Structure formats: C-alpha cells, structure tokens
A and B are shown apart, each in its own frame.
Chain A
Amino acid sequence: MLALKDVGKTYPNGVHALERFSAEISPGEIIAIIGGSGCGKSTLLRAIAGLDRASTGSVTLDNAVITSPHAKIGIIFQEPRLLPWLSVADNIGFGLADLAADARGERVASALARVGLTDKASAWPRELSGGQAQRVAIARALVPQPEVLLLDEPFSALDAFTRRDLQDHLLDLWADTRPTLILVTHDVDEAVVLADRVLVMRPRPGRLFEQITINLARPRDRKSELFDTFKRRVLTALDRSLDRSVRDATDKSSAGEAMWW
C-alpha cells in the first residue's frame, strides 16, 4: 500500500507547487495523474520517487517513509535517459549490479526478449529509435521488479502509433508482476486506456481536484462508446479544474480530442 498524506511542496524560490495531496493506492493498481501545466504532477511523482523531499506531509510505502530513492520504487522518465556508454543489455542490467554476472545475464536476456529487443542486446543506445529506447528504459525499470513503478509522461515524445503500441506493451508487461503503476500524463486517451483510477489535478497550487474510476474491462477498446464516455468525463473534469466553461458531458465534439494540454 502506497499512502500519500498531505504531501506538499514549496520550492526554495517560493513556488508553491503542490498542496496537501492525499491518496491511498493499493498494490497492483494503475493510477493516471492528469492536469494542466503547473499543477504539480511531476513534483508529486518526484516526491513519491524520493528524488525530491516533500516540504509537508509524507509518502509511505508499506509503512516505510520515503525520503530518498527506494529499492521497491522504479521510475521511467519522459526521455529514456539511457547511459550512452553502455550497450542496451548493460543499460537494462544497470540496476542489478549486486547480482552475480550469470544471474544478471539471465534476467537481462529475459527482459530483452520480453520487450522484443533481443537482437539489439549489444547495440548502443544511439542506434535505437525513440520507441525502442523507451522500451529499453521500461525494461531497465522493471528488471529489479519494483513494487511501484512511476512514469513521468513516458510516451509524450513519441509519435501516435508508437505511443499506442507502447501503451499496450506496458499493460502486457505490467501483467507479469502487477506492480503499482503511477502515470503522469497529458493525454486523456492514455489515461483512460491504462488507468483504474484517474486523478485530475488543479493548478496553482497543485492539488487533487477529482478522482474518476475507470471500471472498464481490459483490454480496452479505444473505439467503444463506453471508452468515449469515460474520456468525456475526464475532459469535463479537466475543464472544470481550470474553471473553463463546462461543456455538456454528452457533447460529441469533445470526444475526438485525444490530446489535452
């Protein structure tokens, strides 16, 4: 159980990025955090990762208070952040330095096979496409078998087709060990495809605005009516979070708006 209690963050320059954010997230749950820019999404994610300390409140994972990066919490950033001097295989095995070489090799080989990059094992990161590099980053984060995996707009730099592929692929990988996933995104479509629960945030200062539970069976059909209904609900909540004029929830014209920022 990951518990966020009154998490707040004020940066040294006085920017009040996040205020009293509380949520309880069960093991294996998939959470999407969505909101306008400046709503503290990334701040929240970095606090959960232990990369930045919260100014107020606490993040606890199974009763352990998180103040620095934790072995059970992995993170995938917007950019792959592969180490350019390591081969693809060595990048994936980067977090397994404590393991004996043969055990590490086995884990890396199975992870490579799982993300479909076995033939790229000895390639350099610069030889990968954007989608392949992000797959390596996903494998690197999953190979130490984290209980919580944080994703900070992981697919936003990719083209629409690759993004869709990787969303499906991520769900597929998630099913292996079912870690908790917390995904920060700008993409309503992505939130509704992946998440059990969408947390809509409100900017200045960032705080939780609304929670929307997506009780759709997986795999989800992006073209179904029900899917559109959930998308509209998220879009409506987003509009309200920014005090925009509330659109009619049944208005078909907003349904095609896949990206939102």
Chain B
Amino acid sequence: MKYWVSVAVLFLLSVALALAPTNDYFFYAAFVVLQFVVLSTAWNILGGYAGYVNFGTGAFFAIGAYSAVVLFKWLGAPLAVQMVAGAAVSGLLGFSVGLLTLRLRGIFFAIATVAVTFVLETVMINWRYVGGATGLQLVRPAVIEPFDTYTRMLFVVMALLALIAISVARYVQDSWIGRGLRAIRDSEEAAECSGVPTLKLKLFACTISGALMGAAGAAMPMYLAFIEPASTFSLNYSVSALAMPMIGGTAHWIGPVIGALILATIQQVVTVTISNEINVLVVGVLLVAFVVGAPDGVLGLFKRWLRSSK
C-alpha cells in the first residue's frame, strides 16, 4: 500500500514538475536519467535475479527505437502506440534470445547477446526505409496539452515507464517467479530438480526484460527527432545497463534504481561540465571501484553499515 502511494506521489510530482516554469534543459537531462532507470531495472530482472548477463541491452533498446520509427513513418502512429509496439517487438526478441539459454550459460550467453547486437545493427545500417547508415530526420507531431514542449511530455512518459518497470521488477522479485530465478542463478540443475520450470522462467525473464528495454528505446526517436544506427545500438547502453545494477546492488529492485540515478546523473553533469568522452571513463572507474571495493553495490554497503552501527 505504502509502495503504491509513493508511486502515485512520484508520478504526480513528475507531472507537476513538467508544468512548472523551469528550465527546459532539466527535462532534457532528466529524461535520459529516467531512461537509464528503466534500462538498468530491466537488465536486473534477467542479469541480477537469474544471473544471465545480457551484454546486448543496446540491441533491445535499438529494436524498440526502430519499431517506433517504422510505425511512425508508415502510419504516423502516436507515441503511446510506438512504445507499445517497441515493447512488443523487443519482447519477442527477448523471447528468441531466451531460447539461447537452452544451450548457452555464463560468459557464452553474454557473448551471444553481443553478437545479436552486431547482427541487428548491420541489418539496420542496410535498411534504407529507416534511413540506413546516415539516419533519418523525424518531424515531431504537435505536443499534447497541457505540456508546453515535447521534451516535457517525454519526461512524464519516461517517468511513468520507470515506475511501471520498477513495479514489474518488484512484483517479480517478491513472487515465486523471483524465488525460481534466484534458484536458477545458484544452480540450474538443483532448481529444476526442486520443481522449478527453469526454461519457462528464463524465457519469461528474457521477454519481460527485453520488452521494458524496447519501450525505453521507443521513446528515443521522438526525443532526438532523429534516428541513426551507430548511436542507437551504442555499446554504452549495454555497459551502463550492466554497470548500474552492479553499482546499486543486484539483490533488490531498488539497487538498479539507485545505481541508475547515481551513474546517469554523474554522466549528465560530466557531459555538460567536462566532456562527453569522459562519460565512459566515469562508468569504467566506478564499476571497477565497486566490483573491487563493494561487490554487493550501494545496497551491500548500506547493509554493512546498518549491521556495524547496531
């Protein structure tokens, strides 16, 4: 109950913010931060709970974005339809990648997801309809009342998506699905022999995780009013979506949220104050620091601090 009240309050707060006369740049940056909250929360459902490291977040993100572009160019579909379609197509991609888990585990699964990214990027580079390698300019439709600018509206949409993603992750974690996924992470054989339908749960986790990433990606073309393969399939998404839960903590749904808020905010500040290239360095340094110093992330540090202060 308390959780759902907080969700409602946070959503109303995002709407209020979007209607307030603040600087538009805030929404431009906050959209990206929220997008990373969605990506890292989605990544954690498969990577954190089930222990299957997905290194292809960029592919799911981009397939969501390109689905939106196709629908927009072909039918002029509104944003909501684009995002649902992006989620559906990326969910389907997640299901197919999930079938890989039949044979591939650990590092081999991670490598296969990287391969999926490269294959799909090559396809998009060679697909003229969506702009090929040079990209495609998109003319945004008129903004919907009561929002002043399109960016403000996108900020609210992404806030809503982040809250949905977090709620899904929380539900999965607290239900028998989450227990089953954790059993899979520890020992797939023992899980199966304890009555856990491992294949079904893995397919479920891959599909849900992919769908949420796709929905996040589907908002990107309208945000940039442009699409282009190299930046859409960027390895940065894959690395960040993996680093954020690691930094926040993978054991609980709040972990990836904390990690994304910290890391994406730092990235936004660094982009403005120093340079865009330093971004990648920040992710790398923080990831190494946490893996060495706090392998259970911020959550682990917090638990340790609670225990020592008792």
A complexed with B: no
Chain A contact residues, CB within 8 Å of chain B = none
Q: List residues of B whose CB falls within 8 A of some A CB.
A: none
